[in-house]
Structure 1
Amino acid sequence: MARVSRKEFHDLATPNEAHDAIASLELGGRTETVSLAASRGRVLAERIDAHLDVPGFDRASMDGYAVKARDTFGADEANPAVLSLVGEVHAGTEPAVSVGEGECVEISTGAVMPPGADAVVMVERTDERDGEIAFRTAVAPADSVMLAGADIAAGERALGPGTRITPREIGLLSALGIDEVPVRAKPRVGIVSTGNELVRPGESLNSAAGQIFDVNSTTIAAGVEDAGGEAVLYPHAGDDYDEMERLLTKAANECDLVLSSGSTSASAVDVIYRVIEDQGELLLHGVAVKPGKPMLIGRLEHSAYIGLPGYPVSALTIFQAFVAPAIRAAAGLPEPAAATVSGKMAVRERYAEGRMRLMPVGLVEDGAGDLLVYPVDKGSGATTSLVEADGVVEVHPDTSFLDMGESVSVSLFSPDIVPPTVFGVGEDDPALSRILDHVTRPRYLSMGSREGLRRLRNGIADVAVTSMSGEPEFDGVSLGSWTREWGLVVPAGNPNEVTGLADLVDRDLRFSNRSTASGLRTSLTEALSALAADRGQTRHDLVAAIVGFDHTVKAHESPARKVATGSADVGLGLRVTAEKLELGFVSLGTETVNVYGNPDRVEKPGVRALSEAIAAADDVFAALSGYDRP
């Protein structure tokens, strides 16, 4: 097939067209035989008929005496029927005695009914009298007897194709003596992550060379297994056409479906779509959906092919929406039950891009236990969104915004997802991390003091954690507080002899700062304002003199790690971090970390549990250098 010219995203397929294209692919349909022990959770491929009676004999269903029912007719408490005891039968043994007129045989539950007997009288309704048994009740034929074939009879339909095998079905198959089961073969799904920058988890990572750990391969593989498929991981493919062709062709020859992630957008280095067109058939390139516009669907050799976006959140979202249902269908599995919940938007969310949006969202309960839904959007490349998002809300292309309080339907990433017991946003703090260990199923986003207060104010968060001075500008309920020592982190031994902020201003020292959302950054700004006032200068003058002041990093350890690697001379940080990384520390004072609760949710069990954990955290503070109660 001749190589075609470069395709751009001009005519995007609709989501329905993408579903139809995937449905047209052959993703499996094979049958295999597995042992009974390995059949749980699999889908039966063929009808199974009973080839014998279950039970295969008339058996007693309780302990008592096997009798001819007519010998007990008319018996009652006042006039018992007296029969001769002629033997006994126990479960698992063949009867060596028969029951004649006026006779009975002692029998245990599950035992074979002896010849001549047609009923069982429970032992509680009898009395023993000198080798004879007095029966104080009458019974009818088949009383307390399970007849042969009563469970299932030979020739009867036992299980049909498409039945998902659970312990219940395994019990029936066991009763039929079946030890091998014909099941639908799991679709084999080959997974190829593309990009020269990818490194497998567990291998050595060179961040300086732009390397990142491969998130998509393991994430999508887990999704394949959850959907009933068999995931097969292949080596990473670079951006070379020949190497891409070799790997994809190998996967196509060994699997029912090949999934790739990355190299699907319209850029000069992307080659997958050309491999598909050269070696197979490209059904569509580009879908009017966000995230996931650059999805590819086609055929390669004798296999189906789907190309997912490269960013982890986009890849997982598109996989769950488009690919997982197709794998489940090929495996014969139904769509998961109870995978959708309804809630109300916690905030107003604008959207006007003209294509369907699969908006990642998180769930939180308000004080009344009603479900609130909030957008989770740290950018498609943020892998932490994978665990912060609980599902997606499908937003129609014509929707310009979702209003606060508007009802929405959330498709959960997993049916067993439940909202966190407490949802907090705010300052990154090592003491808080330890305190949260004592709370069941919390969710905490380290987004900085300012963002914590904003999300508490707009009703998304249950609690906000801040180290900014002053009281919040709204009614937040204090759940507790502690102090921490902050300052400048320097190399071990303090080779530059840094003594304070003046050294940053007056000397050519490379500085690593925290983001403006951080309360620690606010403490630094306030200290610089005080220094500027002492010098008769403006804070702007001092900030302009600090090399790297605007070089900000995310977490409380990040500046210290810059110092540890030699890419910064001084970093903004905490004493506890400096000691952990065996670095030097120049103290600039203490700041108070405050935890504020949403006034309408302080009675939520999770919020109360957090408050109690803070109150009981003296051992946490004692174990962290520079920490104390206020």
Structure 2
Amino acid sequence: MSRKEFRDLAPPERAHETIDSLDLGGGVERVPLREARGRVLAERIDAEIDVPGFDRASMDGYAVRARDTFGADEADPAVLDLVGAVHAGAEPDVVVEEGTAAEISTGAVLPEGADAVVMVERTDEADGNVEIRTSLAPGDHVMFAGADVAAGERAIGPGTRLTPREIGLLSALGVDEVPVRDRPRVGIVSTGDELVRPGGALHSERGQIYDVNSYTIATAVEDAGGEAALYPHVGDDYEEMGRVMVEAAEECDLVLSSGSTSASAVDVIYRVIEERGELLLHGVAVKPGKPMLIGRLEESAYVGLPGYPVSALTIFRTFVAPAIRRAAGLPEPRTATVEARMADRERYEGGRKRLMPVGLVETGPPADGGEVEAADTGSTTLAYPVDKGSGATTSLVEADGIVEVDADTAYLDAGEHVSVRLFSPDVRPPTVFGVGEDDPALSALLDRIEHPRYLGIGSREGLRRLGRGVPDFAVVSGPVEREVETVDLGGWTREWGLVVPEGNPENVDELTDLVDRDLQFVNRTTDSGLRTTFSNALDSLAEECGSTRTELAQSIDGFDLAVRAHESPARKVAAGRADAGLGLRATAERLDLGFVSMGEERVSVLGNPDRVEKDGIEQLRAAIDEEAFEGLSGYRR
């Protein structure tokens, strides 16, 4: 079977140029003013009326002739005859003549003869007269016709993005419909036999996964000023893919697909473009995102994004979003760049420009009052790579921005200065950054902290990263050897054991049941502190039996079947795929499963000694000191 190879990878600059050459629309449409928020004005709008259209009072008081108040003060007020009142929204039926005044409300039409308004606080009314205790000049407390906007004046120019302020002005001018730049209509087609739209029935045993890209890219299109149109999901069938793609091209200015862009025999989308349009570019020297397509389909522009969510969104933000903004008439967003230092050494295989997602953490003021650089404010921003692979959707939210790494860079050293392009100007580092053991009590604690970030990477890896100075704290469980200096921030104990089906149908009572009987077991990964606790229990059992832990482990069916998260073994038990799994009493009860207790283990929260003065660490200490384990069985302080 023939295989379509990637063509020569184009440099990123050429990809930008190719997308810029495509026509993404950008016409003009008229929309009701109520629907114009966020749109870009296509033509200048001039005032057709004066605003206000009449001389009006700017406060409650009395309309007077200013000359009648000359010399008036607290000791010698001017006394004027009260001839009536004028209210907002009503046509005046009085005339202010020499020696008279009219009561007037804020916003009311200034009656004939009056040229000023005295505020009510500087007056007294009695027996049909009003005493004025201040002198006025003509125009005091009066907004004259056209003072805001005069008929014929330029009100708002083309290219203005309409916000509530501009909507208010246009409303004052009586405008009910405005000409705006047409938003590019972007059709989104997600491909791949393995995808299921969110909300649909998912069959993991068939290798199905939820379609992340359709909604993610649609939202990104709208953020960039486009109008997103989702088309039915298509598999890898050539005819069906061609039909949906052509339908989208006929109805949209730009078609975006995700997936089916790599150089394999089953990926046929490049054939659809070549046979029904023009393929301009196939493959870009950038990581992630090498399998990128750019072309024309029917009369529409086309860009094929990679299938992995992180790659797809990164390529969209870098190459496609700027083109959509230009077509919509929107300026490039305010660039938000943070200068940081690499928290750890990062190796890199060169050859392609790398768009490396990173998270940010602030070191906070030094705990020992040590010296800082002259330009430093007492806190350093560290950048750490967030890269679980392009297929890991959590990288979308665990990263704060991108570091661009040149193709010829072999590595970035710890402490090296880097520029981080934030995903948006409002991105801010977390108040506290932690790593380590996955634990339900910890999740409850983090809910009490403002803007935390936590990566559940296991006790062993968490302690290693803490030793390298990356996170603010690490959570470890079990008898983990501490080879680094830490600060004890508190902790708790949790009951651990074997999670079994409801009713314990196999009558599992102890660890020897796993060794001696034909039971399917599910373990935790070696980075988990709970795995270490379990292994130590096997050591004790081996000593009692005159055996070794290795021999006992080999007797357990599934000992090496390891899963990462604390609920994962229990969920396999609940699904009928295992007889027992390593887990917690709290998890078993939450999932309505049985539980065989094996004891308790300590969970410790260890702080980075250089970060103990951070506000986030103080919030964490306070959360640990509070009673946060209510409803979690098997937990105690």
Q: TM-score, normalised by structure 1?
A: 0.94
The one of 467, 487, 496 equivalent to 2:506 is: 496
Counterpart mapping for 1:33-72 below 5 A: 33-72=30-69
Letter in 2 for 1:439: I
Task: Work out whether residues 359 and 385 of structure 2, in 8 Å CA contact, stay in contact via their aligned partners in 1.
Answer: yes
Task: Work out whether residues 435 and 617 of structure 1, in 8 Å CA contact, stay in contact via their aligned partners in 2.
Answer: no
Q: Sequence identity of aligned pairs in percent?
A: 72
Task: Work out whether residues 41 and 166 of structure 1, in 8 Å CA contact, stay in contact via their aligned partners in 2.
Answer: yes
Cα distance in 2 for partners of 1:87, 1:386 equals: 68
What is residue 6 of structure 2 aligned with on the other side? 9
The one of 292, 296, 302 equivalent to 2:293 is: 296
Residues 190-220 of structure 1 deviation map (CA, whole Å, 9 limit, x = unaligned)? 1111111111111111111111111111111
Q: Give the superposition deviation at 1:134.
A: 4.8
Q: Give the superposition deviation at 1:180.
A: 1.7
Could you tell which deviates more after superposition, 321-330 or 202-211?
321-330
> What is the CA RMSD across the aligned residues, in angstroms?
2.2
Runs of 5+ unmatched residues, structure 1: none
Cα distance in 1 for partners of 2:441, 2:269 equals: 47
Would you say 1:209 and 2:217 are equivalent positions?
no
Assess, with a 3 A threshold, how the Cα gap between structure 1 residues 490 and 59 changes in structure 2: closer, same or farther.
Answer: closer
> Secondary structure in 1 aligned to 2:536?
helix
What is residue 407 of structure 1 aligned with on the other side? 417
The one of 394, 398, 403 equivalent to 2:408 is: 398
What is residue 90 of structure 2 aligned with on the other side? 93
The one of 420, 428, 433 equivalent to 2:430 is: 420
Assess, with a 3 A threshold, how the Cα gap between structure 1 residues 579 and 81 changes in structure 2: closer, same or farther.
Answer: closer
What is residue 626 of structure 1 aligned with on the other side? 634
Cα distance in 2 for partners of 1:33, 1:469 equals: 69
Task: Work out whether residues 422 and 607 of structure 1, in 8 Å CA contact, stay in contact via their aligned partners in 2.
Answer: yes
Q: TM-score, normalised by structure 2?
A: 0.93
Counterpart mapping for 1:409-448 below 5 A: 409-448=419-458
Residues 409-434 of structure 1 deviation map (CA, whole Å, 9 limit, x = unaligned)? 22222332222222111111122222
What is residue 142 of structure 1 aligned with on the other side? 139
Q: Give the superposition deviation at 1:610.
A: 1.7
Assess, with a 3 A threshold, how the Cα gap between structure 1 residues 52 and 510 changes in structure 2: closer, same or farther.
Answer: same
Assess, with a 3 A threshold, how the Cα gap between structure 1 residues 141 and 564 changes in structure 2: closer, same or farther.
Answer: closer
What is residue 601 of structure 2 aligned with on the other side? 591
What is residue 473 of structure 1 aligned with on the other side? 483
Q: Give the superposition deviation at 1:628.
A: 2.3
What is residue 336 of structure 1 aligned with on the other side? 333
Cα distance in 2 for partners of 1:561, 1:407 equals: 44
> Secondary structure in 2 aligned to 1:439?
coil
> Secondary structure in 2 aligned to 1:165?
coil
Cα distance in 2 for partners of 1:44, 1:367 equals: 45
The one of 438, 453, 473 equivalent to 1:463 is: 473
Cα distance in 2 for partners of 1:429, 1:398 equals: 41
What is residue 110 of structure 1 aligned with on the other side? 107
Q: Give the superposition deviation at 1:26.
A: 1.8
Assess, with a 3 A threshold, how the Cα gap between structure 1 residues 145 and 582 changes in structure 2: closer, same or farther.
Answer: closer
Letter in 1 for 2:527: A
Cα distance in 2 for partners of 1:532, 1:313 equals: 46
Task: Work out whether residues 487 and 574 of structure 1, in 8 Å CA contact, stay in contact via their aligned partners in 2.
Answer: yes
Cα distance in 2 for partners of 1:572, 1:384 equals: 25
What is residue 22 of structure 1 aligned with on the other side? 19
Cα distance in 2 for partners of 1:575, 1:27 equals: 57
Could you tell which deviates more after superposition, 562-571 or 157-166?
562-571
Residues 150-176 of structure 1 deviation map (CA, whole Å, 9 limit, x = unaligned)? 111111111111111111111111111
Letter in 2 for 1:304: A
Residues 536-588 of structure 1 deviation map (CA, whole Å, 9 limit, x = unaligned)? 33332332333222221111121222222232233222223233333333332
Cα distance in 1 for partners of 2:4, 2:206 equals: 30
Cα distance in 1 for partners of 2:627, 2:132 equals: 71
Q: Give the superposition deviation at 1:59.
A: 1.6
Task: Work out whether residues 490 and 585 of structure 1, in 8 Å CA contact, stay in contact via their aligned partners in 2.
Answer: yes
What is residue 496 of structure 2 aligned with on the other side? 486
Q: Give the superposition deviation at 1:269.
A: 0.9
Cα distance in 2 for partners of 1:84, 1:530 equals: 105
> Secondary structure in 1 aligned to 2:397?
helix
Letter in 1 for 2:555: A
Assess, with a 3 A threshold, how the Cα gap between structure 1 residues 78 and 571 changes in structure 2: closer, same or farther.
Answer: closer
Assess, with a 3 A threshold, how the Cα gap between structure 1 residues 87 and 439 changes in structure 2: closer, same or farther.
Answer: same
Runs of 5+ unmatched residues, structure 2: 366-378
Assess, with a 3 A threshold, how the Cα gap between structure 1 residues 487 and 87 changes in structure 2: closer, same or farther.
Answer: closer
